Amino acid sequence: MSTVITSVDPHSPAARAHIAPGEQLMAINGHRIVDVLDYRFYGYDPLAVLLLRRQDGTEHTVRIHKEEGRDLGLNFETYLMDRARSCANNCIFCFVDQMPRGLRKSLYFKDDDARLSFLMGNYVTLTNMSPRAVQRIIDLRISPINVSVHTTDPELRAKMLGNPRAGESIEVMRRLSAAGIHMNCQIVACPGINDGSNLRRTMEDLAGMYPGVSSVAIVPVGLTRYRDGLYPLEQYNAQSAAAVIDLVEAFGKTCRKKYGTTIFWCSDEFYLLAGRDLPDEDFYESFAQLENGVGMLRLLESEFTAALRLMDEAQSASPFTIATGLDAAPMLSHLLQLARAQFPDLQGQVIPVVNRFFGEQIVVSGLITGQDLIAQLKGRDLGQRLLLPDNMLRYHENVFLDDVTIQQVEDALGVPLTFVPQDGFELCDAMFGLSGHKKESRPAEDDSEYYTYNPSH
């Protein structure tokens, strides 16, 4: 733990109070500060009385008056003010275990930290939480948190997570729910293991925690080609994916009648695997599970068509190419056709990129590497711009997962890269050259203390 102040934001409340770097933050309003959650929670009020320890060991008190909710402006050695808690599980489907060797250290760090769940949306299993940590979530009203459930069968959960105590976390969820803590949940479905009757039991148990459990995404297991020596798993096919959809939609319909909300949704990938059309926009209610790919493509279409309706005049744009994963390529091609129908002079194409790096069963755009882009696009007529989903880049970095830089891809392909957020309005503007995010290339950093990569959660 390090609550030593490393810097103070200019013009912040702390700067006006003449707090200096090197001092240690001991308490706010009488509450001991352990990490970023304490700092955020107890520093929220308009009056903050800070107990500080100077480098010579003497202590003093500073009173700060500020707007409610405004950050004090203190910075520490790490974002969490200590180390991120690593995962104590050995999940049979863990994506990190399926990573090739030779990548940078941060890509192999498995986090399971409830603080990152609340602050950054990471999914946690709750298996490494002490009773004190659970009580602190309740006391500080840390809500919502994102929980990887997978199954509520204690024995099966222990097997799937490779942790003999994993089943105990379901009781933790019930305790959090009873205390009014809201949870968004994820189920990584593995064929023949936690689907079928077990999935139904899991949904029944989670629905019993409503409104504590407010939404649940069911996503198919992702399998790379680096699975030697790992638990034998299969990928979903059209028939087995359809069976999961039927089960989840039927149970969701029951929940909608009973609770007024569906609670459970399958990710877009399940519908693509089953060869089925995505449900209508209303089916997804408030799109609570976009980060798990639930309704993402349908919302993208809705936003894009709305953006097109706002364009009254034809826009002149240079030719472009959109490169994306196999799952999103059909939808993006459809959106491009809609744009061309309204503006026939628009020149663009969509190229699906096969994931050679992780394996062809991985079809999401966020796992496409720089070397796959170069290998499959080099020598092709890409127009004057290459549009890419911004989730291809590591969060907080300007390199791809394989450490290939933006500059290396641009040099190899001979076109500038434009990164587009998962937003239909942004996509429409990018097609017509009205916006887009051009990023400067820079070296990768070891960011495992703050931003971790763990798709299995």
**49, 62 in Cβ contact below 8 A?**
yes
> What is the reported pTM?
0.79
- Going by C-alpha positions, the residue among 16, 17, 20 that lies closest to residue 62 is 17
Number of domains in the chain: 3
348-352 and 74-76 beta bridge pairing: unpaired
Query: Domain range for residue 162?
Result: 96-294
The CATH code of the domain that includes 396 is 3.40.50
User: Which DSSP letter does residue 405 get?
Assistant: B
Mean confidence (pLDDT) of the chain = 87
- The DSSP bridge partners found for residue 46 are none
- Going by C-alpha positions, the residue among 141, 218, 220, 147 that lies closest to residue 184 is 147
Asked whether residue 453 is domain-assigned, the answer is no
329 in the same domain as 204: no
Radius of gyration, alpha carbons of the chain? 24
* DSSP secondary structure, 49-111, as one string: EEEEE-TTS-EEEEEEE--TT----EEESSSSSSPPPBP----TT-SGGGPPTTS-GGGG--B
Q: Which tens digit of pLDDT belongs to each residue from 86-135?
A: 567 788 988 877 888 777 666 645 554 445 444 445 778 888 777 877 88
Asked whether residue 222 is domain-assigned, the answer is yes
Residue 327's contacts (CB-CB under 8 Å, 6 or more residues apart) are 268, 269, 272, 363, 364, 365
267 in the same domain as 119: yes
Asked whether residue 89 is domain-assigned, the answer is no
101 in the same domain as 29: no
- Going by C-alpha positions, the residue among 353, 354, 366, 424 that lies closest to residue 393 is 366
129 in the same domain as 224: yes
Predicted pLDDT of residue 411: 96
Q: What is the 3-state secondary structure (H, E, C) of 9-44?
A: CCCCHHHHCCCCCCCEEEEECCEECCCHHHHHHHCC
Query: 3-state class of 263 per DSSP?
Result: coil
Predicted pLDDT of residue 395: 61
Select from 240, 275, 294 the last residue of a domain: 294
166 in the same domain as 221: yes
The span from the CA of 243 to the CA of 302, in Å, is: 27
Select from 294, 317, 332 the last residue of a domain: 294
Token pair, residue 29, equals: 């309003």
The span from the CA of 312 to the CA of 342, in Å, is: 10
Predicted pLDDT of residue 111: 53
Select from 274, 294, 314 the last residue of a domain: 294
The span from the CA of 296 to the CA of 301, in Å, is: 9
Asked whether residue 161 is domain-assigned, the answer is yes
Asked whether residue 194 is domain-assigned, the answer is yes
Asked whether residue 439 is domain-assigned, the answer is no
405 in the same domain as 311: yes
32 in the same domain as 125: no
Predicted pLDDT of residue 81: 56
| 194-196-201-207 Cα dihedral, nearest 10 degrees | 100
Letter for the amino acid at 317? A
213 in the same domain as 106: yes
Which residue positions in the chain have pLDDT lower than 50? 1, 108, 112-114, 116-120, 440-457
Predicted pLDDT of residue 234: 93
Predicted pLDDT of residue 352: 97
242 in the same domain as 115: yes
245 in the same domain as 309: no
Predicted pLDDT of residue 143: 83
Q: What is the per-residue burial (b if ≥16 Cβ within 10 Å, else e) of 24-55?
A: bbebbeeeebebbbbbbbbbbeeebebbbbee
Asked whether residue 101 is domain-assigned, the answer is yes
Asked whether residue 86 is domain-assigned, the answer is no
The CATH code of the domain that includes 53 is 2.30.42.10
318 in the same domain as 231: no
The CATH code of the domain that includes 282 is 3.80.30.10
- Going by C-alpha positions, the residue among 451, 454, 456, 453 that lies closest to residue 116 is 451
325 in the same domain as 265: no
Query: 3-state class of 184 per DSSP?
Result: strand
